[in-house]
Amino acid sequence: FRQVCGPFIQTARWYARPVRRKRKDIPSHLDDLPPTMLKKDYANVPIINSVDDVVRRLLSLEMASQKEKMKIKTQQLVEKVRRSPSDNGSFEVQVAMLTAKIRTYEEHLQRHPKDKSNRRRMLMDIDRRKKLLAYLRRVRYDTFENTCKQLNIQYTLPPPYSRRVTKRWVVKKAFCLKVFQEARKLKAPERLKQRREWQARARAAKE
């Protein structure tokens, strides 16, 4: 029986595939958008209130793509931090737009962890947002605090720069200081000559 059924069983094993586990539903930052909300391009159209329910459903977020939902989510984040209705390019607005992109990248990478190109784009956007937040923290701290609070951003200070002191580094530093002092001694007569010329010109100008 084993000799007869062996090849067939072996062939079945070759074509057998492992059962794929069902992926868990990953929560999205777009879940709080109501499906009955209209798309961004049709929200302010006056005739939209008189259209049929089927048409209204087609123009709502229930039938919208990820890109159209991202537009509305980005607009909501921008509205939380913008200075005025006409503010479209301040540091706070840029931080809000980058935050929406970063959260989308994070959700995408949870489903596709091997996507290196999108991971690289996310890291670039994170670095850019860190620079903007560092500038706001240095110049306008109250705006920085409000931006982090409204957008739910946890800002961490960069670690202080520390360098490991090695024997080679100590010798190199001592050599550089010695070269600098020798070059300064060689340039001292020339600088003294220039200073005397400036003093002479200043006296001539006074007289």
Per-residue pLDDT, 20: 60
Per-residue pLDDT, 21: 61
Per-residue pLDDT, 139: 94
Per-residue pLDDT, 37: 73
Per-residue pLDDT, 158: 77
Low-confidence ranges of the chain (pLDDT < 70): 1-24, 40-44, 46-52, 161-163
* CB-based contact 103:26 (threshold 8 Å): no
Dump the DSSP string for the chain: -HHHHHHHHHHHHHH--PPPPPPPPPP-TTTTS-TTSBPTTTTT-GGGGGS-HHHHHHTBGGG--HHHHHHHHHHHHHHHH-SSTT--SSHHHHHHHHHHHHHHHHHHHHH-TT-HHHHHHHHHHHHHHHHHHHHHHHH-HHHHHHHHHHHT----PPPPP-----HHHHHHHHHHHHHHHHHHHHHHHHHHHHHHHHHHHHHHHH-
Q: What is the pLDDT of residues 17-44, one digit of tens each?
A: 555 665 667 777 777 777 777 776 666 6
Per-residue pLDDT, 181: 92
Per-residue pLDDT, 10: 54
Per-residue pLDDT, 205: 86
Per-residue pLDDT, 2: 45
